[in-house]
Structure 1
Amino acid sequence: MLHCGKFKQDTFAGAIGRITPPLVTCDDFVETSRKAKPEEENPMADDKKSEMEAILKRQRDAFTAARPEPMSARRDRIKRAIALLVDHGDDLARAMSADFGNRSHEASMITDITGTIGFGKYCFKHMDKWARPEKRGTRFPLGLLGAKAELRYEPKGVVGILSPWNFPVNLSIGPLMQILAAGNRAMIKPSEFTEKTSELTAELVAKYFAEEEVAVITGSPEVAAAFSSLPFDHLLFTGSTATGRKVMEAAARNLVPVTLELGGKSPVFLGRSANFEQAGERIAMGKMLNAGQICLAPDYMYVPEDKEQTAVDSVRQAAHNMYPTLLDNDDYTSVVTDRHFDRLQSMVADARDKGADVIEVNPANEDFSSTNARKMPLTILRNVSDDMMAMQEEIFGPVLPVKTYKNVDEAIDYVNRNDRPLGLYYFGSDAGEREHVLQRTISGGVTVNDVIMHVSMDDLPFGGVGPSGIGSYHGPEGFKEFSHARSVYTQPKADIAKLAGLKPPFGDTTRKTIAREMKKA
């Protein structure tokens, strides 16, 4: 259901430039105590890379030997992936909670388990239609003479999946569903931050799949760097824009095509016609789900100047209603690591020092200073400026800056001056203003009168644009993303080249053909 793992100037940024080829993985924020050592000082990394290369070879050999593989084999694999989640969803949810310190069991079941099962069922239902060859047109008059053209969507081979920690099951098994539907094999490198979930995923995948079909590789930043350097037939990365650049650089060394699911600062436009009470509830829900650790979480609100207090009060009241307490509330997720928590605290302190009004939404007036639970209340920032960390970096936590506009074009111009975001959200009943906002801006996707929800529509492609991503999956577009569009043209028996004057010696027929083609449209 929900997507995008983030804030990745990664765990294995320490390996960048020291492992050949230079690369990183899909986790964030370098913890200096865990920086990767150079590969020459770590023979275990060499052993792990050799092991991964051997798995890749076995998968590719099995893939080649099985061609042409029947659709029934693909269906069977998707059934097994769904069964893995149905049989062990509760176990995986418990593992995720243990990794985070606390993560709502019900939220994990919704976002990572049932949402992924639903996507698997969607792929199962549509894969036969997606895989059918498409008839394409031929140049006149070739079709009349018996020429045929078609496009076949064929599997690429072995796809690598670099998945993040914030939705560790959804963002590994979710794309796997579509990769299997397209007829590929897969190797998954999950995050080391969610170690228990990664280990359980590896154990379960080995139970439900042969290694030649799907394999999970766990391990350190060095392992992730080595994984990223493998010559896959396609590589999917979910993470930050900064790390996405490194992933693309490494993939380019092997000419591996990539899908990059990145992020950015997804804005919320509140129009004057918005239902502010409803908008506040939906924004608070999207910002506090998973403690805001979602690449599509609303990153900042842009509200009419004369409606700012109303907008802030609406979000604050909604947070009170959904989370009357926080510290001992199992519904509210912890920030994943001390490093991430400290970064968010520094972001708030930076905003306060630079003049922002800081509103901590703490309904029960709990003391957060005497706990190590890494629970952080929703923190609203007013009077923000562009020199603040909160307006320069993707937040990836329960911090919500608020900006104001006199005319909606001010908000549009601001969004357009910055990197194109992964998501954009508009609240309002004014259809003209809504279309004005959508037509004047560019983003990966849009949800109108809510946030985040477009990613849960299985039939819509999900992805970014520019710094927020390259390529997409979900929908038929995802099947095509993990397939090779192979053109097949069949020439008729007639000597086409001679009839068209394309065969030497050239003469009058040739000149007539050229003259005909030179006519203006």
Structure 2
Amino acid sequence: MTMSADNTERLIDPSRERLAEVLQLQREAQRREGIPDLETRLSRIDRLALAIIEHADDIVDALNADFGNRPALASLRSDVVASVTEAEYIRANLAEWMAPQASEMGPGMGIPVTMSPQPLGVVGIVGPWNFPVGLVIQPALEALAAGNRVMIKFSDIPERTGRVVAGAVASRLSQEEVAVVLGDRDTAVAFSDLPFDHLFFTGSPGVGRAVAAAAGRNLVPVTLELGGKNPVLVSAEASIDEAAARVAASRMNNGGQLCLCPDDVYVPRDSVDAFADAFANAIRTSLPDYAHNGDVITVINEANYARILRLIEDARAKGARIQPIETGDGDASLPDPETRRIAPTLVFDATEDMLISHEEIFGPVVVVRPYDDVSDVIERIAAHPHPLVAYYYGPEGEEFQRYIDETSSGGVTRNDLALHLMVPDVPFGGIGMSGTGVYHGKPGFDTFSHLRPVASPQLPFSMGQMVGAPFLPDTAETERTQLEGLRASIAARVGA
């Protein structure tokens, strides 16, 4: 079962009124049908995964058209396989996740308590353009696993892909279960204004602020998966050639359009030239003749192409040394606004007054920063907004532990690209400016669930009566005696 990218018969009218109607439709269905059982949840998970698999070829073709050039394998791996394979992991563990939990202390207190994970209701998901399918399907699967209904606002930038995904989802799930909404910025604003039971957003910190503000007006809890200027600390003990090659591969992932890409690379001063040479060699080996290479993932649209060039030119105008990497005879044509290709570029001598020192690059450019003392690097990273991920190249020793202890980030990976992201039961998310909240596997199930405690006391008295009027003098004296005992115990511990 496939559907053309031009098929529009199942698309939802993106008007504010219709969005509210779809939300109400899902909310009424949730109330009418109650908490979905295991089989219902598994059916929805299976059907959503199947819808994406059945339309995989159409999705890959649409992504290539939307990006200008995006190899089929890149799209298949990152936007299709990566998301739907999690469905199998969820399937294998969902019964255990759904099981009620018993308080360990409750029975001893005469207050047995069970805690049952229950669905929040209707979850809204606002997706990004860089991995537009995977980064809405994965949280949607976890929200369905938790028993929720889901509304997805697909990015308007990969427009063709949005049409295919909307049709694919509609072919297997009703609007009462999962609804995909297409539309422009006005639609995104109207979507964020809806009184969801939870709102999940992936995108830039700037847009994340607006989404959080809109959700706050309705007291809707939010998960924000943002980005930031991810640092790389290359230790003096690291293999410079290996570090440079791996940083180059990481930077060029999805053409640099990845929230996990390294932005700033701190290299020992006497190794900067060796690092730059090894980085350039790695690019030439993996992406020769960059201007014409079919494996190059191009910049998504004109606006982002212009934004990346603005960062480069601002740095150049303020004294930075810009080094485009030569890869072949076609380099003279770069940057090329027609194909939206920008040569992989190293930036040296960046200063704090440059835009590139503060804005996430999101393109095939990396800033190289020499250092003499690792303490200065750690201090600079700690003083800046917390990134989504911090990278370290070198052995797992005292310096690496200090890097972990004295900086803060959503996650840390040593000697590779965001490996913590790839372990299915590890929470993924940012901190501060790089996001709030987590998902992936069980942490995602927990994000979209409410752990509801139910107490069934076995006390020989009523706690409500005990703590209420009348307030008897002898009871007050008992409380004071208890408080004095607690004071003495604490005072002894602190030496007071």
2:356 to 347, 369, 390: 390
Aligned residues: 474
State the AA in 2 paired with 1:470.
Answer: T
State the AA in 2 paired with 1:101.
Answer: G
**Where do 1:240-255 residues align within 5 Å?**
240-255=204-219
State the AA in 2 paired with 1:310.
Answer: A
Is 2:61 the partner of 1:86? no
Listed as ranges, the gaps of 5+ residues in structure 2 are: 1-11, 490-496
**SS of equivalent to 2:15:** helix
Is 2:39 the partner of 1:75? no
State the AA in 1 paired with 2:162.
Answer: S
**Where do 1:334-353 residues align within 5 Å?**
334-353=298-317
2:321 to 336, 350, 357: 357
CA distance in 2, matches of 1:452, 1:316: 22
Is 2:268 the partner of 1:301? no
CA deviation after TM superposition for structure 1 residue 475, in Å: 3.5
State the partner residue of 2:6.
none
State the AA in 1 paired with 2:285.
Answer: N
State the partner residue of 2:418.
452
State the AA in 2 paired with 1:107.
Answer: A
Is 2:399 the partner of 1:403? no
State the partner residue of 1:239.
203
1:317 to 281, 284, 301: 281
Query: Structure 1 residues 362 and 230 mapped into 2: Cα distance closer, same or farther (>3 Å)?
Result: same
CA deviation after TM superposition for structure 1 residue 509, in Å: 5.0
**Where do 1:17-166 residues align within 5 Å?**
48-138=15-105, 143-144=107-108, 146-166=110-130
CA distance in 2, matches of 1:392, 1:85: 37
State the partner residue of 1:209.
173
Question: In the alignment, is the contact (CA less than 8 A) between 2:126 and 2:201 conserved in 1?
Answer: yes
Is 2:183 the partner of 1:227? no
**SS of equivalent to 1:477:** helix
Is 2:431 the partner of 1:465? yes
State the AA in 2 paired with 1:368.
Answer: S
CA deviation after TM superposition for structure 1 residue 137, in Å: 4.0
Q: Relative to structure 2, which stretch is displaced further, 379-388 or 123-132?
A: 123-132
**SS of equivalent to 1:421:** coil
CA distance in 2, matches of 1:87, 1:489: 46
State the AA in 2 paired with 1:488.
Answer: V
CA deviation after TM superposition for structure 1 residue 389, in Å: 1.5
CA distance in 2, matches of 1:447, 1:196: 34
Question: In the alignment, is the contact (CA less than 8 A) between 1:111 and 1:170 conserved in 2?
Answer: yes
CA RMSD of aligned residues (A): 2.0
Query: Structure 1 residues 134 and 474 mapped into 2: Cα distance closer, same or farther (>3 Å)?
Result: same
Q: TM-score, normalised by structure 2?
A: 0.91
CA distance in 1, matches of 2:175, 2:480: 57
Question: In the alignment, is the contact (CA less than 8 A) between 1:99 and 1:194 conserved in 2?
Answer: yes
Question: In the alignment, is the contact (CA less than 8 A) between 1:368 and 1:375 conserved in 2?
Answer: no
CA distance in 2, matches of 1:326, 1:350: 24
Q: TM-score, normalised by structure 1?
A: 0.87
1:191 to 139, 144, 155: 155
CA deviation after TM superposition for structure 1 residue 451, in Å: 2.1
State the partner residue of 2:492.
none
2:226 to 259, 262, 267: 262
Is 2:312 the partner of 1:328? no
CA distance in 2, matches of 1:501, 1:457: 48
CA deviation after TM superposition for structure 1 residue 156, in Å: 0.3
CA deviation after TM superposition for structure 1 residue 276, in Å: 1.8
Query: Structure 1 residues 387 and 125 mapped into 2: Cα distance closer, same or farther (>3 Å)?
Result: same
Identical residues among aligned pairs (%): 37
Query: Structure 1 residues 47 and 204 mapped into 2: Cα distance closer, same or farther (>3 Å)?
Result: closer
CA deviation after TM superposition for structure 1 residue 90, in Å: 2.1
Is 2:368 the partner of 1:368? no
State the AA in 2 paired with 1:126.
Answer: N
Listed as ranges, the gaps of 5+ residues in structure 1 are: 1-44
CA distance in 2, matches of 1:501, 1:85: 57
CA deviation after TM superposition for structure 1 residue 53, in Å: 0.7
Is 2:441 the partner of 1:475? yes
Question: In the alignment, is the contact (CA less than 8 A) between 1:501 and 1:509 conserved in 2?
Answer: no
